[in-house]
Structure 1
Amino acid sequence: MTEVSSKDSFVLDANTFAKLHPKEFYRKFLTNNIRPDGRLLKKFRKTSINLNSLKSAEGSCVLKMGKTSVVCGIKAEVAAPRVDDPRKGYIVPNVELSPICSSIFKPGPPGELAQSISERIDKLFKQCKIIDLDKLCISEKNAVWVLYIDVVCLSYDGNIFDAALFSIISALKTLKLPEVNYIEEEGKVEATEERTISIELLSIPLSATYVVFDEKYILADPNEEEENLSSTSITFIYNEDHKLCGLSKLGGVPLSKELIQDCMTSAIERTDSLRQLLDTTIQQL
């Protein structure tokens, strides 16, 4: 008969421990002010953009934020103006999260997360006046431009709102519309040769998202696992003048003024760095 020493013990390897006890696994890292992916708590993932990637769109952007990647394409169509705004064009944002980007999403109509993000972006356009909608008017009461802004997630690993918003702003900066005239006698719109016009952005709001883990650790730019393990998320939206354009909080964990102020400072730095990335990328076109 073989005796087992009392000193012998069953030891889990790191991957197994992380799967069985994910929160405890994270705690062991966070107590040392580092995350399992090697980032510091307030460190954002590497972000890159590729502009004008879709030749069939009037403006486009492919964005990578860590392992989250999205493509934004803007299609412009001529339509009749809305009755309540005969001098303004309009914008229709849509975010798509399908099984292609992650198995957590199901085929069929847009899920709750996709709808929520689309609605938040639509609200942001209205509140921040990102585009002068009057500039989308071709002929009052007759014809306007409609911008269909579609964001498709290619790979999902958390923080889809920040990725979607930055891809939209980046695609808008590349937007080129055909120069057109409205022929009143014929009731139709005609393009003038091959000239194009750009649409100036009145504001460039960008976002920075954080989650709260264990009610005390603030993690910037959460990946999917961090989102699932955290009880609260908070998103700050700042424009180029460092004006707070939006603030949303999901979850009930109260945050101290000191923590909020710390996040606000970090968010301003993050959104500034994204604008700098956008400016640099445009200059290289």
Structure 2
Amino acid sequence: MANLAVSDSEKTFIIHGVEDNLRCDGRGCLDYRHIELELGAAPNCSGSSHVRIANTDVLVGIKAEIAAPDHAAPDRGRIEFFVDLTANADPEFEGTGGDELGQQIAGALAEAYVSKRFLDLSSLCIVKNQQVWVLFVDILILELGGSLYDAVSIAVKAALYDLRIPKLTVSIGEDGKPEIEVSDDPHTQEPLAIANVPCFVTLSKIGSQFVVDVSQEEAECSTVNMCCAIAPNGRMATTMKTGVGSLHPDSLIEALQLAQEIGVALHKALHKQFVKAQELSGRTNGFLL
């Protein structure tokens, strides 16, 4: 990803502002930029969303398909993440240029969703040991403007909220094999509990302060980032550190506590936006929050 050219004087201005809890766009250190959210952005998908945070633009589509379960989890469905970064987001992403970053994002999401405490996929089991629903989550990064992990995780959770899976009836045929029948009512849905689905909160250290939702200019002033996947109840799903800097144990504890507080507030705000976006889209949702 190409670095943004920021002069030393600009960096000094940004750092001094952060120290006074006043950023260039008027926000405080722990304030997010406005989050624009749309549900049902890709009608051909089982669930989809479009999220924009300033110049960061993310489109997510989920396809639900029936497949064989994993041998290690014969009574659970699966969720798989695929990330594509377009050349419009950054010229360096042309061709296979964005593959490495895409794999990093997909891996972080998979790690955040691995525990059934955050997403229980047992309701996606159709016939144990034979057939389950598999959720293929395709993430398209259209534009970059900072706070990428946070924006992607919000878009994924929004698409899961928008998700609609046909209700199935399983019966045993004359040959003793299970027969699957899809409900004739297109509005019937099987519930998927997404109440504990986490979102990423990325805290960047600028000067002596932690800052959330950094712009590209602010990112150039940051030495280390803590990215934490936080559930609505404040439980932490996973964490990772990026950047060349290090954190003192006291700073690390401070960052984790801040991420939990910010994450809980973020989920509350997102829930209100999900409900509003659902009303605007006119789509019903039988899934559990």
Relative to the length of structure 2, the TM-score reads: 0.81
Partner of 2:27: 39
C-alpha separation in 2, matches of 1:96 and 1:78: 24
**Higher relative contact order structure (alpha carbons within 8 Å, sequence separation ≥ 6):** 2
C-alpha separation in 1, matches of 2:234 and 2:19: 32
Note closer, same or farther for the CA distance 1:95–1:140 as it changes in structure 2 (3 Å cut): same
C-alpha separation in 1, matches of 2:232 and 2:270: 10
Partner of 2:229: 237
User: Aligned partner of 1:275: which letter?
Assistant: H
Partner of 1:213: 206
C-alpha separation in 2, matches of 1:37 and 1:238: 26
| Correspondence list, 1:1-285, <5 A | 18-19=6-7, 21-108=9-96, 110-127=98-115, 129-181=117-169, 185=175, 189-195=180-186, 196-202=188-194, 203-214=196-207, 216-251=208-243, 252-255=245-248, 256-257=250-251, 259-260=254-255, 261-284=257-280, 285=282
For each residue in 1:69-119, what CA deviation from the matched residue of structure 2 results, as whole angstroms up to 9, or x when unmatched? 111100011112223322222111122212122224232275322111101
For each residue in 1:246-282, what CA deviation from the matched residue of structure 2 results, as whole angstroms up to 9, or x when unmatched? 3332243324357434454334323332233223433
* Contact preservation (8 Å) 2:199, 2:263: no
C-alpha separation in 2, matches of 1:266 and 1:140: 39
* Contact preservation (8 Å) 2:6, 2:220: no
Question: Runs of 4+ in structure 1 displaced over 6 angstroms?
Answer: none
C-alpha separation in 1, matches of 2:92 and 2:147: 15
Relative to structure 2, which stretch is displaced further, 17-26 or 70-79?
A: 17-26
Relative to the length of structure 1, the TM-score reads: 0.82
Query: Root-mean-square deviation (CA), in Å?
Result: 2.7
C-alpha separation in 2, matches of 1:70 and 1:122: 18
2:182 aligned counterpart, secondary structure: strand
Note closer, same or farther for the CA distance 1:275–1:207 as it changes in structure 2 (3 Å cut): farther
User: Aligned partner of 1:100: which letter?
Assistant: N
C-alpha separation in 1, matches of 2:71 and 2:84: 29
Q: Percent identity?
A: 23
Relative to structure 2, which stretch is displaced further, 20-29 or 131-140?
A: 20-29
Note closer, same or farther for the CA distance 1:23–1:85 as it changes in structure 2 (3 Å cut): same
Q: CA deviation at 1:283?
A: 4.8
Count residues with an aligned counterpart: 268
Give ranges in structure 2 of 5+ residues lacking alignment.
Answer: 283-289
C-alpha separation in 2, matches of 1:30 and 1:84: 48
* Contact preservation (8 Å) 1:238, 1:268: yes
